[in-house]
Chains A and B, each alone.
Chain A
Amino acid sequence: MAPTDVAAQPGAAQPVTRRIINDLSIQVATVNGSGSQTANLVLLRSIFQMGVPVSGKNMFPSNIAGLPTWYTIRANHQGYVARKKEIDFLVAMNVETAREDVLALEPGAAVLYDEPLKLSTLRNDLVFYAVPFDKIVAQVCHDAKLRRLVKNMIYDGVLSKLLEIDLAEMEHALRRQLGKKTKAIELNLAALEAGFAFAGEHLVKQDPYVIERMNKTAGMILVEGNAAAAMGCMLAGVTVIAWYPITPSSSLPETLISYMRKYRVDKETGKATFAIVQAEDEIAAIGMVVGAGWAGARAMTSTSGPGISLMGEFAGLAYYAELPGVVFDIQRVGPSTGLPTRTAQGDILKVATLSHGDTKQILLIPASAEECYTMAMVAFDLAERFQTLVFVMSDLDLGMNTWMSNTFTYPDAPLDRGKLLDDAALKRLGEWGRYRDVDGDGIPYRTIPGTGSPAYFTRGSGHNEKGQYSERPDDYVNNMERLSRKFETAKDYVPKPILTGDLDSDIAIVGYGSSHWAIEESRDQLLREVGASTAYMRLRAYPFTEELEAFIDHHQRIYVVEQNRDAQMLSLMRLALSAERGAKLRKVLHYNGLPIDARSITDEILAQEGIARPTHAGASEALVSASGPSEGPEGSAARSGAPERERAGVGPRRR
């Protein structure tokens, strides 16, 4: 059956005239700390178990309990997992936000609400389902103190009925979620079933949304980017981890701790093959990483923007004294404390040049949970190969939200420990100098204390090829030029950008990180709505590689999509590329703290192209009342004049 089949539903009081199958976004509005997370994850997982592509995003406040929080679940048969701008189904549990949440909905959306909120009088162009949560919960949970925690399972039960989500799948997901907590399972199951029964007896289906079994999630997993990164770190053989708690980074080291305790304790001795320290601040965390890296360990930390700012001085030391380490930056909204629980790609420019003086840092930019896993391993190899910090630029959306993913592949490649001076190397080199470029790639040989190899004095002050203190102009220049050479060499080692789409199209897009999913969806929208095919390059690292230059040369108008106000990646590209190439770049920006969505990208590109979007766009999208006006001028993009219609010059294309 086609996923968008429309069918009448006989027997209903107000019959639904159409069915929208496996294409909706659900938003659950609750109060932080009310225990809704279990219910939301059960809902998400039950849809996943039915084979329907799904994603879950938590828009939570910087607060432990009491402030509003929204959890959105998107199910989409085409596999779109980016945030969908429009809410199709609102579950209104929060008295504080209910009114505003309802008023913001597009006509035709459905609202499931706690009966006393009396929301149905607010609008007459929505579908309303009133559910007396307190009455239902009182019947299934006799302990008044526990009612608050199981109450949320009732909306899962109601949604199971209304959206045709198999109740058995919900039960399965619930058992999985709660593990061995028998009492909790019992209570939650009762609430789930009570919700289902209530909907069956009292509610008449009036909205078109249903979930129907598919086979698009077989063999896949649901995982957060931070957990994926933690797995990568463990398999990369990390031994020293120093960190300081900060949202949205903390779940990375915390997940890593749980894995390491389980899988990295020596069976014979019961001792740990790792050391994890919760440091006193981010400065100490990076200091420990740098010290451990100097002493030969695979060391890492994980942080977010404010921590990155604090790490600046050490980042310069590691760059200049050439010491390895891995830093995860799970980006959030700045400046300052900013919106600490909201997402952004706001640290790109800062981290690329982190520290004072002339500094260039290596960045890896994962777009998926799977890349969080693989790039963690690449990061440790590159850090030791290039004897410098490597920054993995994730973000809150990627790191903390729940993503579908293919299962991860076990690493086959051995660890690359880089250029360590052993006896053979010493024999070959004759005389060793810590900072001497003997191979022409800018990468010197290093030694590790305690291994018996020749010592050197590590310093952040000026030094010559032998590591001796020097203020000589020629020594300084030689060293800085070698560091530049080393950065050039890194271009051959960092993950290459990924090129897809119609390479002869007029419109080219450059994107990176978690924006990827919305960009892919936007490209489909552009094709479906105005017939515009696009070429797309997803950047995965800094330094940029020659593929980017070839891509820019090949196209006339290149839209750089990113989640910050100041077009940071575009600016970095302009720093690294020729003025001619830089002039071709256009901004598409999204920076309101919510994960970027396809609609915003599409609308912005169309506006800059000077193309009006048809009112009734694509087939399946049109069925949903979705395609409303954009949220506003989120992307302060430079507008272009008349659209250029010339074909991009076709030149030799490099891969």
Chain B
Amino acid sequence: MINETLKSSITPGAPKTNRIGLEHTLYRGGKTTLCAGCGHNAISERIIDAFFEMGVDPKQVIKLSGIGCSSKSPAYFLGTSHGFNSVHGRMPSVGTGAVLANRKLIAIGVSGDGDTGAIGIGQFVHLMRRNVPLIYIIEDNGCYGLTKGQFSPTADVGSKLKTGVVNDLTPIDTCALAIELGASFVARSFSGDKKQLLSILKASLSHRGTALIDVISPCVTFNDHEGSTKSYAYVKDHDEPLGEVSFVPYFEDISVEYDAGTTTEVQMHDGSKLYLKKMAEDYDPTDKLNAVRVIHETARRGEFATGILYIEPDKPDFLELLNVVDEPLATLPVERVRPGREVLTEIMDSLR
């Protein structure tokens, strides 16, 4: 299957390749085993597009996940990348370890609202604090799909199970929480909004540090009925884009014409540019307090503010803080990781 946006540019016999000469099909994964119409599949498609369009080498990518429907999805994109479907709620620690082992890796982690908001909230919190370079996608459907529809911690107050049970616990807003915790790239999108999600994913690939993307992704089997605030119908009506997200990668030498009064330009660490065209209101994605305020205000109206909610492009990531060498630790030669005899002698002498 080839992405809609690319179809037009394909000429028979000469498949379109990206800037590193790879075909789009190389970015695909195994056949999905999720339900037909599941929002997660659309997200996988956007990930494929984003990595293809950005010309990311799949051999440098690692795909990580916890447990749940969402966490199955890394098997459905980037089939030639190493993947790791780990332990429920613990993807952040596995991802942290992997990135520490090899800082050249491009890490994408896929989690769900239960995997993140319930069992994994502790690791989520500390990943955000550390600003570990990793794209963290929450495929957020407000329920536990794999165990048949129980509420998750992101279920809205008043949302109903198919059995009629109503949720009366306050949901966790993972984006507001992430901003509070010091996350450096926080976005929210909707699995059905191809254009916005693709732009956000591309921008996240240019970000250094943790990029949290909460993607509302309706569960067609357990949470797409009337009364659900995470159904296709509800989200379509209540999606409140903060602005149009345009992303120009560093390798595309394009200068974008924009009206300085209505568009904010954010310079990414790698030289890429993010253009946020203001729509609903005058929104500055580098203003932390305002970001939190907007998230709360839209939520109070029963709406979802989507787009890039907060960004701090120059915040040092965890590897910088740890002052780790530029080369991957995993493959350092023995001479660089085993100190010489004189070191042992020195220590022995200090203990005599």
Interface positions of B from 56 to 74, Cβ below 8 Å from A: 58-60, 62, 64, 74
Q: Are A280 and B339 in contact (CB under 8 A)?
A: no
A392 at the interface (CB under 8 A from B): no
B336 at the interface (CB under 8 A from A): yes
Q: Are A273 and B337 in contact (CB under 8 A)?
A: yes
Q: Are A271 and B325 in contact (CB under 8 A)?
A: yes
A314 at the interface (CB under 8 A from B): yes
B205 at the interface (CB under 8 A from A): no
Q: Are A447 and B82 in contact (CB under 8 A)?
A: yes
Q: Are B330 and A458 in contact (CB under 8 A)?
A: no
Q: Are A273 and B343 in contact (CB under 8 A)?
A: no
Q: Which of B59, B60, B105 has the most CB of A within 10 A?
A: B59
Q: Are A469 and B75 in contact (CB under 8 A)?
A: yes
A445 at the interface (CB under 8 A from B): no
A269 at the interface (CB under 8 A from B): yes
Nearest residue in A to B337 (C-beta to C-beta)?
A237
**B interface footprint on A150-164 (CB within 8 Å = 1, 0 otherwise):** 000000000000000
In the bound complex, residues from chain A placing their C-beta under 8 Å from that of B330 are 239, 292, 295-297, 448, 450
Q: Are A288 and B62 in contact (CB under 8 A)?
A: no
In the bound complex, residues from chain A placing their C-beta under 8 Å from that of B255 are none
Majority secondary structure of chain B interface residues (helix, strand, loop or mixed): helix
A266 at the interface (CB under 8 A from B): yes
A407 to B323, CA, bound (A): 33
Q: Known contacts being A297-B330, A457-B75, is A291 close to B344, with CB within 8 Å?
A: no
What is the distance, in angstroms, from B112's C-beta to the closest C-beta of chain A? 16
A321 to B84, CA, bound (A): 10
Q: Are B102 and A275 in contact (CB under 8 A)?
A: no
Q: Are B332 and A296 in contact (CB under 8 A)?
A: no
Interface size on B, residues (CB 8 A): 57
A219 to B104, CA, bound (A): 46
Nearest residue in B to A451 (C-beta to C-beta)?
B331
**A interface footprint on B274-294 (CB within 8 Å = 1, 0 otherwise):** 000000000000000000000
B158 at the interface (CB under 8 A from A): no
Q: Which of B336, B339, B341 has the most CB of A within 10 A?
A: B339
A362 to B341, CA, bound (A): 29
A199 at the interface (CB under 8 A from B): no
Q: Are B351 and A222 in contact (CB under 8 A)?
A: yes
In the bound complex, residues from chain A placing their C-beta under 8 Å from that of B99 are 291, 295
Q: Are B90 and A237 in contact (CB under 8 A)?
A: no
Q: Which of A240, A242, A411, A414 has the most CB of B within 10 A?
A: A240
B252 at the interface (CB under 8 A from A): no
Q: Are A410 and B344 in contact (CB under 8 A)?
A: yes
Q: Are A290 and B97 in contact (CB under 8 A)?
A: yes
In the bound complex, residues from chain B placing their C-beta under 8 Å from that of A460 are 85-87
In the bound complex, residues from chain B placing their C-beta under 8 Å from that of A263 are 339, 343
Q: Are B97 and A293 in contact (CB under 8 A)?
A: yes
A293 to B100, CA, bound (A): 10
Q: Known contacts being A287-B94, A293-B97, A314-B90, is A457 close to B85, with CB within 8 Å?
A: yes
Interface residues, chain A, with chain B CB atoms under 8 Å away: 219-223, 231, 234-240, 242, 259, 263-264, 266, 269-277, 279-281, 283-299, 313-314, 317, 407-408, 410-411, 414-415, 447-452, 455-461, 469
Please name 6 further chain A to chain B contacts, defined as beta carbons within 8 Å, in addition to the given A284-B122, A287-B90, A452-B59, sorted by A numbering. Answer: A284-B92, A284-B123, A291-B97, A291-B99, A297-B101, A410-B341
Can you sample 21 A-B contacts with CB below 8 Å?
Answer: A235-B338, A239-B101, A240-B97, A272-B324, A276-B322, A279-B126, A283-B123, A287-B97, A293-B97, A293-B101, A295-B62, A295-B102, A297-B101, A408-B344, A447-B82, A449-B102, A450-B82, A455-B59, A455-B79, A457-B82, A457-B85
Closest 3 CB pairs of A and B: A287-B93, A291-B97, A296-B330
